[in-house]
Chains A and B, each alone.
Chain A
């Protein structure tokens, strides 16, 4: 199980955006969704999720609305905004580029240098 302290900076925002881009979610749901889609590999410390959500909302990358949860309670649901979707695309592209670069770097063999 990985902790955010070992995650690269900025990846938490990216993961939150990805999670809410699939469907509107409340905070706890975001946490579960990230765990699900990462196959249980990424477990975010619960406390750090909310500042991230508030920051993204302040930047108008996500929007929030109060609604009904599965267990019939009032909950705040987050959904992605067009600006958030755009940002997610940029971040994903950037991330893939970097991941490829790192993978290439790490797979380098002595004879290629």
Chain B
């Protein structure tokens, strides 16, 4: 097995790994939103309600 073959295998598995990570992350994002574990979409309101008097979406003093 020469270095080129090893690189090719390493490349293949690295790409496969990244694809799995990507898709499982997408799955994780959408399933936790659907099950109500976490609401990602509420953060969009940071831009919409951005007057200095508006209530922050998540206050800095609160721990998560």
A and B: partners? no
The interface of chain B, by Cβ under 8 A from chain A, is none
